[in-house]
Amino acid sequence: MSDLHSSSETVATLKLLLIGSSGTGKSSLLMRFVDGVFLAPDEISATIGVDFKVKVIDVEGKKYKLTIWDTAGQERFRTLTSSYYRGAQVYDVSNRDSFNDLQTWFNELDTYCSSKEVVRMIVGNKVDKESSREVSRQEGQEFARKLQTLFVECSAKTKLGVQQAFDELVQQIIDTPSLWQKQAPANVRLQPNAETQEYSGCAC
Amino acid sequence: MADMDADDFENFEFIDYTTSGPWEKFIIQIESCLKQWGLVHNSYGVFNPKRMPATDENTDLDQELALALHDDNAQSTPPPAEASASPTSAPSPSSWSNEAGTTGSDATSQDSSLSNYQHDSTITLDGDSYTLSYRYHPAKARIASGVERVDLDFLPTTLEGFEHHSLHRWTGLTHILVLSPAPDSTSQIIDLGRAKLLQSSFAIAFQNTGCNIPVFVPTGQVRNRTYTGISIRPQHLHTRDTDLGLEELAEDQAIEVRFNTLLVPYPPAHYTDLAGILELFIERMGIDDDYADMSDEDSGSKGGYSQQLKEQIFVSALFSYHLDNWYDEDWRQWADKDDDTTARSREHLPNLPFGPVQDPLKSIQLVARFASAPSTVYLDSKNLTDMDASQANIWILKAIFKPDDYGMLSVILEDAISSWSAEVTSLLEANKDLESDKDQGSYTSLLRKGARLIQGTIAMVDVNDVENIVDDLCTTPPPSASPAPASSQPTQRHRTFSQGSAGRIVTAAELGLHFRRATTVPYNSFLWKMLRHLVDVISPNSHISYPTSFMGFTKAVWADLLVQFDNYWKRKEMIPLIEIFGGMTDESDDGDNESSGVPIKTAFIDFRFNLLHQKLTMINCCIARELARRQDDPSPSPPTSSSTPTSPSTGSASEEATPVQPKEQPEAKGDVLSGSSELEDNTSKDAIADDKARPDSSGSTNAVEEKSEALNEAVGAMNLSVCSDSPEATKAMPLVAHQGKGGLKPYKDLKLLATGEPLMIPKLQEQGHMTEDMIQDQEDLFENLGSSADAAKTRAELQSAQLISDMGAFKAANPGCTIGDFIRWHSPKDWDEKKGHMSARMADSGNFWQELWEKAEALPASKQKPLFDHHYQAERALSYLKGLSGSQIFVQLLPSICLLAYDTLTSHPVSTVSPQAAKAIQELAQVLTDFPWDELSASEKSLDLKPVIAKFKQVEQTVGHVVSLLRKFPEQYSLVERILKDSESVVEDGTERDCVFTVFSAGGFTKTVFPKPTCREFVMETFDPVSSPSSSFVGAPGPTFVAPDDLTGWDARPLQRRMYACYKDSEVRIVEAIAKDGMFM
């Protein structure tokens, strides 16, 4: 649906950025949202540097073009990717470490993002792996509250919460006109929320 | 007469109106006004203190009716005698018909509200129109509600900025009616006879309505402001809450109070002291009559009255002292201990002035208040007085500032901005003229152009001054090329603000980070210091005395600095004050990191600062890279130098050519990126340089076959390398494999899968640096590729150079390794330790990583082709700087200029002692934070900077006021604060009073004694004890500072007698109020 709509009638182009530890499913999430298909993180080639996908969405009858930037989670790519921290955010609920890394990601964002006005969202991914969950929903919410960001749990695999995550984020951006009216990029952080999910997913 | 009678008759048929004379008509008008205002039955009506402030219920002046009334006035011009004509006398029919039509609605429509404290209405008598206004002074209500302490004997003439009628002060009455000739009236003077008539009318109206508010009528010359007045007060008031307007009593027997004003120029010396006017009071009030016995006794004693009598007269007084501010060159000098610390932090940099040029204080006024007390308490006679300021109970200090002062700091900002807009305008117009000149080469347009040139683009600049600034900037020791210890932090001014509630003042260094979208330069960095010098050039304090413009000077200094930057790069010397390790801002957590983990600190470009600073940082990063390379490898030229287009810059041979060479690419980029003006393209592009540069740059870096030429160029410019390009470069190098080169240390305890050797972490190539514009370009390039799978692949390839380099280094360090080893180290999550194989995505046969792994040649990082071509990047940064127009530079610097100005204000210690100043500064900080700096554009001045400048001006004035007052009253922070807040303040006993006393006795030119009061006001009051007994009523304007209970001993119903006397400018004004029992009419 996205590509058909990417006509000139879009109100604004919003820039989203997915960051988070490797294997938390940033690319999967993106693929689910944009292409409507699911590939486990194992199946999508590890992102090198940065990549992006485009999707046009309708909000209150207006079309917004989303440029969603996906980044590599590996440490070594940090310098390459950090330069893009001028715009969304995701994490993995099935992986404790990926959650613990969140603070680091936020620090990075603070350093490299020149705009103070960034909409941030923490996404806990892989909630389908409920059995191997390592980060409770409450924990995620606490953290998001502490950092004053949006929070959502989702599963790229089951589609649960994916649309909601992006909708909420976009809504927030639209509600902050200074972010997009002046073409300032909006940042979205993706943090892998589901701790156990990744592991189990990989194992299968 | 017959005609008139006939008309009358006719009219009477349909007009139900029985009063006939103009006078009666007048009284009815008064009554309707009074009723409209609710002034009936002793009520305060619309100004009921209990309900004030009440909603404004007044209807607007009905234009039509006003007009009708006006017509009526014009037509009926009866002689004055008619005023006293009997009600039955026949009036002019035409006028009556008109008046009948309007009278009824007069009461409801003639009222227009001028303010919350005044209602006006127009009434007419014999064709003279008058304005009757009901005025209210909120003093008592305010006291009742505890708002403030107001002097009830001397009601303030201005309160909350509202100018109240002087009569309030003279009479001590909060509710008054004032009748005055309407502004359009022919005669502004009411003669005494007329005044009497008017007052009689009111007396009747008062009786009819039960209104107890006094009315005043001006008599004599307007400028004299002399009034007579009358009020009718009903008898039998039980309570003292007359203030509240609740009395509902019979009006049959009333007290009449007469008011009178005397204005005596040059009063006889006898009457200029308290003793004198006390006698006058007794005489005027006819008190001697009531004290017949006593006066008999005292008649012998010369001019004296009995003690007893005098004790029954209460006196209060108000002396005003005025002190014109004297010239004080050092008015802004700050007598504070903190002073020397700030002086040190300022170093040798010029200080920016702020505030007004001259002391903003115009004068200070001291009011000494003597509380109401029996007249025997105060001694003030011809020869002897104890009524001087030091004896007064209460002191009130007021500061008067010069209006609308000039603010030096805001003017500096204005100058800087206007020099920029002049340039922008002249450039724009010049462009327009170029186009329009073809068809319209008129003489006037030539003239205009000439004028603009002079105004906008030519500025006087002394080369020496420019050199001095450049020298100063460049003599600062350069930052180290390696991570510096935490001690390198700049002077950090800790602000301990005592008033916790007022909040913290954000330092300029911190505020810079809050500006919209990275538009400032770091505090105390190279550009910061440059701005300090540049702004100083146009400051009034500058040593540069000739007129110059900010833009002119900036361009001159910038031109010199460009040469310096070039030299720094050639000498491989770091540009001073450009930190590449991010140490320029005072962030506490930053310091912690530094001390704990020095090795982690790598050079980086801080995106929180503007592009100009980023570019300078880039140059320094490149220099640091080169220095590091030289350290590692002492050979003069790097192995890869031959393949980089800009490497000749290291040699001396082609140095002239280098500045021009790299100009082409970045500039084209820059223009696209920042959307900068076309005019820039027209003026500064050098087509020849373009041609020269092209073959050079495209031929070397990007030896990529399959990609289009355009893409290559862009990629090369962006510090990206295409994967295929790497093996080619490495082929030239001798292959060094299987010797474990470039390994740093073992990684965990991992052993290589194949050989069992320890897995070594290789030394990796340091990553490159990018400035914001480069990232933007890269992003655009990526976006332009589209979102197809192919495009994604291309993007991955474009970004794979680093991965290949890592792989190569890994291979070199770990002979016999496999991709599995690499993944275990590089992306641990893609390795399943338990199962001992890579994740599905990595193990996939078509995986891009595997592809790259095949390509990567085992080569230690030091032998690889550098990922980051620092020579090229440095040249690019330099050429970016060179390509900037004056206007573009200014736009990048303007936010920092404002930040600098902000720093000037916060650096002054005044913000630490004055919450007022601190608050103002905080507001300024908010304005600066909210301002959309990121929308500044070099080509148009669409952004309105006026609010920012206005705020600066306001803040510097506030700060200037605080400084000035504290100079007068050293360390009286609390007093100064109160004065600034309310423009006047009671001086507390103790040090405050001592301090004020010192200022007044030592201040001014006399510098000797306490000055004489400029104005002395007395209020004398007594109540006639003789009249009929029964009530303990105390007149509404009773003495304030003496409880009315003190007077309960007076058995009789007291008839108030009050006299106000004001000595000022060699004249005395006396306003007396004498109450008489019963109606005189």
pLDDT tens-place string over residues B782-835: 888 887 888 888 888 888 888 888 888 888 888 888 888 888 888 877 777 777
Length of chain B: 1081
**Average pLDDT estimate for B562-570:** 92
Position B253 scores a pLDDT of 58
Instruction: Give the B-side interface with A, CB within 8 Å.
Output: 513-514, 516-518, 606-608, 764, 767-768, 770, 772, 775, 778-779, 782-783, 787, 792, 795-796, 798-800, 802-803, 806, 826-827, 829-830, 832, 839-842, 844, 847-849, 932, 934-935
Position A110 scores a pLDDT of 64
pLDDT at B1064 > cutoff 50: yes
Q: How confident is the model at residue B60 (pLDDT cuts 50, 70, 90)?
A: very low
CA distance B742 to B811: 10
Residue B213: helix, strand or coil by DSSP?
A: coil
Residues ≥6 apart with Cβ < 8 Å to A36? none
Residue B728: helix, strand or coil by DSSP?
A: helix
Q: How confident is the model at residue B689 (pLDDT cuts 50, 70, 90)?
A: very low
pLDDT at B686 > cutoff 50: no
pLDDT at B6 > cutoff 50: no
Q: Which of residues 27-56 of A touch B (CB under 8 A)?
A: 40-54
Residue B887: helix, strand or coil by DSSP?
A: helix
pLDDT at B116 > cutoff 90: no
* pTM attached to this predicted model: 0.68
pLDDT at A56 > cutoff 80: yes
CA distance A29 to A126: 9
Residue B86: helix, strand or coil by DSSP?
A: coil
**Which residue would you say has higher pLDDT here, A4 or B979?**
B979
The two tokens of residue B671 are 């223009």
| Side-chain-side CA neighbours of residue A137 (13 Å) | 7
Q: Which of A52, A176, A178 to mutate to test the interface with B (most CBs of B within 10 A)?
A: A52
Position B561 scores a pLDDT of 92
Q: Is A181 on the interface with B (CB under 8 A)?
A: no
Position B568 scores a pLDDT of 92
Nearest to A54 among B517, B772, B787 (CB): B787
Percent of chain A with pLDDT over 90: 0
CA B277 to chain centroid, in Å, comes to: 50
Residue-wise pLDDT for A70-117, tens only, equals 877 776 776 666 656 554 444 555 566 677 777 777 776 666 654 556
The radius of gyration computed from the CA coordinates of chain A, to the nearest angstrom, equals 15
Residue of B nearest to A71 (CA): B796
Nearest to A46 among B514, B830, B832 (CB): B830
Is cis: bond before B53, omega within 30 of 0? yes
CB contact under 8 A, A48 and B775: no
pLDDT at B292 > cutoff 60: no
DSSP H or E run through A17: strand A12-18
Residue of B nearest to A52 (CA): B787
CB contact under 8 A, A45 and B848: yes
CB contact under 8 A, B934 and A77: no
H helices within B814-869, ranges in order? 819-826, 840-843, 848-855
As a dihedral over the C-alpha atoms of residue B1043, residue B1049, residue B1054, residue B1056, rounded to 10 degrees, the angle is: -40
CB burial readout B772-796, b (16+ within 10 A) else e: bbbbbbbbebbbebebeeebbebbb
Position B668 scores a pLDDT of 38
Q: How confident is the model at residue B222 (pLDDT cuts 50, 70, 90)?
A: confident
Residue B750: helix, strand or coil by DSSP?
A: strand
| Count of CB atoms situated within 10 Å of the CB of B661 | 21
Q: What is the strand order of the sheet A190-194 is part of?
A: A150-153, A121-125, A89-94, A190-194
Q: Is A204 on the interface with B (CB under 8 A)?
A: no
Residue-wise pLDDT for B850-878, tens only, equals 888 888 888 888 888 888 888 999 999 99
Among B876, B886, B885, CA closest to B663: B876
Nearest to B783 among A42, A67, A184 (CB): A67
pLDDT at B395 > cutoff 80: yes
Length of chain A: 204
CB contact under 8 A, A184 and B847: no
Position B1079 scores a pLDDT of 45
CA distance B58 to B150: 28
Tell me the angle at which helices B772-785 and B611-632 cross, rounded to the nearest 10 degrees. 100
pLDDT at A32 > cutoff 80: yes
pLDDT at B10 > cutoff 70: no
Beta strands in B880-925 (DSSP E): none
Position B160 scores a pLDDT of 67
Q: Which of B612, B795, B805, B841 to mutate to test the interface with A (most CBs of A within 10 A)?
A: B841
CB contact under 8 A, B802 and A77: yes
Nearest to B839 among A51, A115, A202 (CB): A202
The two tokens of residue B1008 are 């000797």
Closest-CA distance of chain B to residue A62, Å: 22
Beta strands in B530-595 (DSSP E): none
Distances in Å between the alpha carbon of B925 and those of B514, B515, B586, B997?
Answer: 9, 10, 18, 38
Say which DSSP state A184 is in.
-
CB contact under 8 A, B826 and A76: yes
Position B50 scores a pLDDT of 61
Asked if B155 and B142 touch (Cβ cutoff 8 Å), the reply is no
**Which residue would you say has higher pLDDT here, B432 or B609?**
B609
Q: Is A77 on the interface with B (CB under 8 A)?
A: yes
Contacts of B783 in chain A (CB under 8 A): 52, 67
Contacts of A49 in chain B (CB under 8 A): 795-796, 798-800
Asked if A131 and A196 touch (Cβ cutoff 8 Å), the reply is yes
CB contact under 8 A, B799 and A49: yes
Residue B342: helix, strand or coil by DSSP?
A: helix
CA distance B141 to A163: 62
Position B795 scores a pLDDT of 85
Asked if A90 and A191 touch (Cβ cutoff 8 Å), the reply is yes
Contacts of B770 in chain A (CB under 8 A): 83
CB contact under 8 A, B768 and A79: yes
Position B121 scores a pLDDT of 84
Among A156, A133, A128, CA closest to A40: A156
Q: How confident is the model at residue B492 (pLDDT cuts 50, 70, 90)?
A: very low
Q: How confident is the model at residue B197 (pLDDT cuts 50, 70, 90)?
A: confident
Asked if B522 and B584 touch (Cβ cutoff 8 Å), the reply is yes
The two tokens of residue B914 are 């004055």
Triad A97, A102, A106: Cα angle to 5°? 155
As a dihedral over the C-alpha atoms of residue B74, residue B177, residue B115, residue B405, rounded to 10 degrees, the angle is: 100
Average per-residue pLDDT for chain B:
69
pLDDT at B687 > cutoff 80: no
Q: Is A177 on the interface with B (CB under 8 A)?
A: no
CB contact under 8 A, A49 and B840: no
Residue B466: helix, strand or coil by DSSP?
A: helix
The two tokens of residue B943 are 């952004």
Asked if A187 and A126 touch (Cβ cutoff 8 Å), the reply is no
Asked if B986 and B996 touch (Cβ cutoff 8 Å), the reply is no
Nearest to B847 among A45, A67, A115 (CB): A45
CA distance A200 to A194: 11
Look at strands B1015-1024 and B1055-1064 and give their pairing. antiparallel
Q: Is A96 on the interface with B (CB under 8 A)?
A: no
CA B122 to chain centroid, in Å, comes to: 42
**Average pLDDT estimate for B259-283:** 82
Nearest to B517 among A40, A80, A184 (CB): A184
- Is the alpha carbon torsion for B308, B310, B313, B318 positive or negative? negative
Percent of chain B with pLDDT over 70: 62
pLDDT at B728 > cutoff 90: no
CA distance B878 to B874: 6
Residue-wise pLDDT for B27-57, tens only, equals 888 888 888 888 877 777 777 766 554 333 3
pLDDT at B187 > cutoff 90: no
Contacts of B822 in chain A (CB under 8 A): none
Contacts of A54 in chain B (CB under 8 A): 787
Asked if B294 and B311 touch (Cβ cutoff 8 Å), the reply is no
CB contact under 8 A, B772 and A114: yes
Q: Which of A8-17, B284-293, B617-626, B793-802 has the highest mean pLDDT?
A: B617-626
What ipTM is given for this predicted complex? 0.75
**Which residue would you say has higher pLDDT here, B481 or A176?**
A176
Closest-CA distance of chain A to residue B577, Å: 20
Position B700 scores a pLDDT of 37
Q: Which residue ranges form the domains of chain A, and what is each CATH number?
A: 2-203 (3.40.50.300)
CB contact under 8 A, B779 and A74: no
**Which residue would you say has higher pLDDT here, A88 or B257?**
B257
CA distance A117 to B989: 52
Tell me the angle at which helices B915-930 and B886-907 cross, rounded to the nearest 10 degrees. 160
In chain B, what is the greatest distance between 2 CA atoms, to the nearest angstrom? Answer: 142
Beta strands in B753-821 (DSSP E): 758-762
Asked if B691 and B660 touch (Cβ cutoff 8 Å), the reply is no
Range scoring the smallest mean pLDDT among A90-94, B340-344, B458-462, B632-636:
B340-344
Q: How confident is the model at residue B932 (pLDDT cuts 50, 70, 90)?
A: confident
Residue whose structure tokens are 């503007």: B610
Tell me the angle at which helices B611-632 and B550-571 cross, rounded to the nearest 10 degrees. 10
